[in-house]
Amino acid sequence: MPTTGNYFHLHLVSDSTGETLITVARAVAAQYANVTPVEHVYPLVRSQKQLDRVLDEIEEAPGIVLFTLLEKDLVARLEAKCQQINIPSLSIIGPVMQLFQAYLGAATTGRVGAQHTLNAEYFKRIDALNYTMIHDDGQHVEGLEEADVVLVGVSRTSKTPTSIYLANRGIRTANVPLVPGIAIPHQLENLKKPLVVSLHATPERLIQIRQNRLLSMGAGPGNDDYIDRQAVADEVAFSRRLSAKFNWAQLDVTRRSIEETAAAILKLFTDRQRQHLSE
């Protein structure tokens, strides 16, 4: 295997942002636990001069080349170079475009970065991000009814990063912390429009995350209850009681990544929308 130790070079060449390439490449690379890719990402490659630099770097560090280029001349040069130095290359969107073309019976328009145009969907995401930042961590609870999703949970259940991830998908998301001994906002009790999802994790997982958080902040004594096993268990029990009382959807995030948590919430949100449409 042409690697150095447990590493191999992975060149990702795109005429747009490279997000599609990065997502696909990392999804596949994650299946190989014993080797780690050294990523070389080249976004916005749209001219021969820009491609020249890319080809030089590929030649200096040979490896796998994945690309999303629409300009045929650029594709031809890149593939020719890879053949010349005997390394594999693959167009990530090429086979999919061919499938679409065969089914639809129409040629592509060849618009570079077409998925990133400033259309209604783009501005919906911007609006969602603005809303989410304003309504983070229990701020401006008077506007909770305007949300699509409201996340609740005790400290360190990934409410904020999950909210931002959902907002980037166009879902207006607010989040409200649940703290024993502090009454929840009355606005949260009477929500009609938003889907309220209560995020939970095991006490052991919460303690681990909180300890890491305190270490990163250089926090000293005075945080005993924050990482005390019984205190954290009481927080989790308090959160579950509230969820049952108000019939909130519940989601265990103990072993979930942010992406997995967001995907589960999106499914709940979509199912709820379908249910409302059928009523």
Segments making up each domain of the chain, as ranges: 6-104, 116-277
Closest CA to 185 of 229, 233, 241, 137: 137
CATH 3.30.1360.10 fits 6-104, yes or no: no
**116-277: same fold as 6-104?**
yes
Q: Which pLDDT value is given to residue 221? A: 62
- Residue 156 annotated as lining a ligand binding site: yes
Q: Which pLDDT value is given to residue 3? A: 53
- Residue 91 annotated as lining a ligand binding site: no
- Residue 158 annotated as lining a ligand binding site: yes
Closest CA to 201 of 153, 165, 258, 252: 252
- Per the CB < 8 A criterion, the answer to whether 58 and 80 are in contact is no
Q: Output the furthest CA–CA distance in the chain (Å, rounded).
A: 69
Distance CA(259)–CA(165), nearest Å, equals 8
List, run by run, the mean pLDDT of 10-residue segments along the chain (279 residues): 75 92 93 92 95 97 95 96 97 90 78 60 90 97 97 97 96 97 94 97 96 84 83 96 97 96 96 84
Q: What is the pLDDT of residues 115-130, one digit of tens each?
A: 555 577 888 999 999 9
Pairing of strands 173-177, 149-153: parallel
DSSP string, 118-177: SSHHHHHHHHHHHHHHHTGGGTTGGGGGG-SEEEEESTTSSHHHHHHHHHTTT--EEEEE
Give residue 191's identity as a one-letter amino acid code: L
Give the CA-trace dihedral at 88, 28, 8, 52, to 10 degrees. 50
The H or E element spanning position 197 is strand 195-200
- Residue 193 annotated as lining a ligand binding site: no
pTM for the complete prediction? Answer: 0.74
Pairing of strands 173-177, 249-252: unpaired
- Residue 160 annotated as lining a ligand binding site: yes
Distances, alpha carbon 231 to alpha carbons 201, 223, 228, 266, in Å: 14, 11, 5, 31
CATH 1.10.890 fits 116-277, yes or no: no
